[in-house]
Each structure stands twice: as C-alpha cells, then as structure tokens.
C-alpha cells in the first residue's frame, strides 16, 4: 500500500518526458543499387529539478553506425543504448539551452552473411537547444559531439580503434520532439 501511495505521489508531480528522434535516408554509389537507411531512437527522461535531468535513448536502425545520411554501398543493422545526464543552463519561456553528458553503446551487425559485427562505445557531451512550443511540448535539437569513441570488431583478438575529438559540423545535427508530463 505504501508503494502505491509513493507511486501516485511521484506521478502527481511527474517531471517525466518522452520523445526521441527518427530519420530516413537513401544513398547511391555509382551504378550500385540504392541503399535505404533509417533510425528509430525513442527517449525517456526525468527532470530532477529545473536544471538537471536524467534520461536514456534505446533504439535501432539500419545504416552505418548511427548516421543514416552517409553515402554507403551496403547497410548495417544496429541497436543502441545511450544514458545521459542533462544540464540546462539557459532557461527562457520559449527556449532552453542544455548539454547532455553521457555514454553510448552501439552494436553494429553487417548485413552481408558472414561479415564481422562491431561494438562501439562512446562517452562525451552533446550541446542542444529546446524550443518550447507549449508547456507540454518541445522541439529539441542536438548539434555535434565532443568526447571519446572506441570501435572494436566482435571477433577474438581484435584491437579497438579509439578516437578523441570535437565534431560540431552541420552534418552532425539531430532533431526530436518531446512530450513533458
């Protein structure tokens, strides 16, 4: 009974948000067939207070890693889990500016039979902006990534490829719609 009362109290003051990103693309290299790629990345989070939130993205797609707009000659299926902590440092009635810090895991399966799969880990920050369309609905955009990434083939004895850096170009932008309860 106490658990039920606690759940109702939390739900009454809920600061939960749901949303995410979707994407679709098509590319063609030379005389090869068209390659269609997509991603479906639902997200759920909880606002701890006005400045801090925690959340995660769990999704899947077909493409090269998590970028469905790259030009490819073949496609790969992938799944991802990416928990984060969000700090909002600019608050306005219409616009919030934030940064997400977290890590992500991608498991990439090559579509061709017998091809090697890959595991990708990353940790870093993603700056973003939320346009508040109403108190319950927002349009969010993330621009870029700064941090570390490691990719390793899913075979015995494989060595990892590691990278550190900042990518703030216009090709590394995601858009999402979020509903705040």
In this model, does residue 5 exceed pLDDT 80? no
In this model, does residue 13 exceed pLDDT 60? no
Token couple for 146: 């700064």
User: Rounded to an integer, what distance in angstroms lies between the CA atom of residue 174 and that of residue 160?
Assistant: 27
Q: How do residues 25-46 score in pLDDT, each as one tens digit? A: 777 777 777 777 788 999 999 9
- Domains annotated for the chain, with CATH where assigned, are 16-180 (2.40.160.20)
pLDDT given at position 65: 47
pLDDT given at position 67: 44
Q: How do residues 117-146 score in pLDDT, each as one tens digit? A: 888 999 999 999 999 999 899 999 988 889
pLDDT grade for 2, boundaries at 50, 70 and 90: low
Q: How do residues 54-110 score in pLDDT, each as one tens digit? A: 999 999 988 754 444 444 545 678 899 999 999 999 999 999 999 999 999 988 887
pLDDT given at position 113: 56
pLDDT given at position 71: 44
Which DSSP state fits 4?
H
pLDDT grade for 1, boundaries at 50, 70 and 90: low
pTM above 0.75, yes or no: yes
Residues 6+ apart with CB under 8 A from 160: 150, 151, 152
In this model, does residue 179 exceed pLDDT 70? yes
Selection from 70, 76, 86 nearest residue 27 by Cα:
70
Residues 6+ apart with CB under 8 A from 129: 95, 96, 97, 98, 140, 141, 143
């Amino acid at each position: 009974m106490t658990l039920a009362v606690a759940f109702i109290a939390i739900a009454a003051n809920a600061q939960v948000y749901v949303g995410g990103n979707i994407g679709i693309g098509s590319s063609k290299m030379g005389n090869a067939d068209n390659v269609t790629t997509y991603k479906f990345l639902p997200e759920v989070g909880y606002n701890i207070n006005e400045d801090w939130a925690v959340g995660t993205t769990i999704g899947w797609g077909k493409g090269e890693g998590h970028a469905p707009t790259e030009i490819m000659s073949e496609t790969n299926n992938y799944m991802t889990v990416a928990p984060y902590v969000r700090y909002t440092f600019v608050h306005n009635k219409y616009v919030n500016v934030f940064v997400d810090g977290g890590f992500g895991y991608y498991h990439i399966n090559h579509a061709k039979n017998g091809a090697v799969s890959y595991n990708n880990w990353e940790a870093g920050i993603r700056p973003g902006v939320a346009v508040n369309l109403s108190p319950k609905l927002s349009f969010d955009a993330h621009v870029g990534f700064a941090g570390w990434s490691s990719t390793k083939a899913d075979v015995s004895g494989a060595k990892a490829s590691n990278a550190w850096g900042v990518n703030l170009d216009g090709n590394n932008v995601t858009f999402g719609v979020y509903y705040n309860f």
